[in-house]
Amino acid sequence: MKKLLLFLFLLNIFISHLNANEKDLQIIQKDKKEYRLLEKESIQTRQQSQKYDWISPIDLSGNIGRNHSFSDENSRNINNKNTKSASIGFTQSIYESGGIGFKIDYADNRFKYEMLSWENQNSQLVYTIYNTLLDIKKLNLEIKQNEYRIVNKDIELIIKKIQYDAGRADVIELNNAIMSKNLIQKEEIVLKNSLKEKEQELAKYTDLKYEDIEVLDFKRAQKDIFLDKNYSILEADAKVEMLNSEYKIKKSQYLPKLSLSAKASYSTQDEKFNSMINDTNKDDASSSGSLILSMPLYDYTKSSKVQESKIEVLKQKSLVNDLKNETAFEYEQIFTKIDTYLKQNETINKNIKLYEELIGANQISSEAGMTSKYDLEILENTKTINEFDILINNINILQQYAKLYFKIKN
């Protein structure tokens, strides 16, 4: 009992010092954290690239050449030329019937979608860590609880042996007591191995030991907040905007487009008439500019391409509505489970009070020599087992709150 009271005290201190910093990548295993940060950098870089992708490059070119004639010597001397040229220019789209703005919107909307997806993945990664941590704490409680069950089974076996030796129990009853104890001992092996597996599972996601990780304060989220800030819904909504921008770009590709083209060039050449005449150099510099209006006159697949893009938007909108319905039901399911655990705790508390009354009465009769000390020990152990059930259920409740907590954007 003293050990249990000490454990309850420590657990109370543990819960009262909950870490307020949530979804912190610092607890994630080093390589995973580095990957997540690089993924974020990739998303940010991609946005900048796509946002200004409509701006055309400025092209610079240069050329050095020599023309050589295989005609007679006079013609050959006239036509032999060394040429050098260089040019710089660009062709820039300045109006695409809204297409430029749609491309910028697409880059921003895709960035928003990918960042929400990135945050959601981080949140679920951290949820895995905390949920595994709670599993470990629950298994530790179950192992301690099982120790009291084993003690009770030992006492039951001792009583059955005494009864068997006195002829008040048959071999079947004795065998059942032995088998019952064996089952509890096997359960102990399963629990301890499950604990090892969970510790190994935790090590895949964090370099910290479970003793060094503090449990977060998974406060209850109201239903409207859970739906409004739900990562999956926000992500799906952002995808609608991204696909809608893509659809607008697709439509604008078949509308008038105005481009500005500008070019400046310079060239020089040497002409050798013959060895008696000095070389004659010719230089030439020029520039040009133009406005180009273009529009696709016919594309056999235009209608199907635009319609396909529009359907993708409608499909995603439908998916969002379906997701909202599923999420609302999920919220109710989680609180149904929480309600189950709370009601179980109410029943267990009633049992504990009953055991306290029985223990009090049994202590008096035991001191008077009317009942065995084994009866009192069994009652005390069973009461402790029930107290562990409440602690285990409290962790079950915490795990349900964690499901809600890590699904919303704070």
Give the residue carrying structure tokens 């809608």: 244
CA 162 to chain centre: 59
Residues 6+ apart with CB under 8 A from 350: none
Of 121, 105, 108, which Cα lies nearest the Cα of 40?
Answer: 121
What count of other Cβ atoms lies within 10 Å of the Cβ of residue 351? 15
Q: Helix H segments across 52-170?
A: 73-79, 99-165
Say if CB 148 and CB 127 are below 8 A apart: no
As a whole number of angstroms, the distance between CA 19 and CA 16 comes to 9
pLDDT exceeds 80 at position 33: yes
Helix (H), strand (E) at residue 67: strand 59-67
Q: What percent of the chain has pLDDT over 90?
A: 54
As a whole number of angstroms, the distance between CA 70 and CA 290 comes to 40
As a whole number of angstroms, the distance between CA 232 and CA 306 comes to 27
pLDDT value of position 18: 32
* pTM as predicted: 0.79
As a whole number of angstroms, the distance between CA 265 and CA 89 comes to 8
Question: Which strands, in side-by-side order, build the sheet including 280-294?
Answer: 59-67, 81-95, 257-271, 280-294
Tell me how far CA of residue 193 lies from CA of 142, 186, 210, 217, 240, in angstroms: 12, 11, 16, 29, 46
- Reported as a pLDDT band with limits 50, 70 and 90, residue 200 is very high
Reduced to 3 states (helix: H, G, I; strand: E, B; else coil), residue 222 is coil
As a whole number of angstroms, the distance between CA 369 and CA 378 comes to 17
Tell me how far CA of residue 312 lies from CA of 56, 128, 250, 309, in angstroms: 29, 32, 12, 5
Reduced to 3 states (helix: H, G, I; strand: E, B; else coil), residue 219 is coil
Q: Computed from CA positions of residues 23, 393, 376, 164, in that sequence, does the dihedral angle turn out positive or negative?
A: negative
What count of other Cβ atoms lies within 10 Å of the Cβ of residue 188? 16
Range with the poorest average pLDDT among 56-65, 143-152, 399-408: 56-65
Q: What is the mean pLDDT of the chain?
A: 84
Map out the domains of the chain as residue ranges: 2-54+96-130+215-256+303-405, 59-95+258-294
Mean pLDDT of 111-130: 95
Q: pLDDT tens for residues 105-120?
A: 999 999 999 999 999 9
pLDDT exceeds 90 at position 13: no
Q: pLDDT tens for residues 286-323?
A: 777 778 787 888 878 888 989 999 999 999 999 999 99
The first and second tokens of residue 304, run together, are 């199907």
What count of other Cβ atoms lies within 10 Å of the Cβ of residue 379? 22
Range with the poorest average pLDDT among 1-5, 192-196, 257-261, 350-354: 1-5
Q: What percent of the chain has pLDDT over 70?
A: 85
Residues 6+ apart with CB under 8 A from 135: 198, 399
What count of other Cβ atoms lies within 10 Å of the Cβ of residue 132? 22
pLDDT value of position 16: 36
> What number of residues does the chain have?
410
The first and second tokens of residue 79, run together, are 């036509």
The first and second tokens of residue 175, run together, are 């065998």
pLDDT exceeds 80 at position 142: yes
Phi-psi region of 167 (alpha: psi -120 to 50; beta: other; left: phi over 0): left
158: phi then psi, degrees, rounded to nearest 5: -60, -45
Tell me how far CA of residue 218 lies from CA of 96, 326, 397, 403, 406, in angstroms: 50, 22, 10, 9, 9
The first and second tokens of residue 278, run together, are 């000095």
Residues 6+ apart with CB under 8 A from 110: 46, 47, 50, 242, 245
Tell me how far CA of residue 248 lies from CA of 47, 158, 373, in angstroms: 18, 81, 83
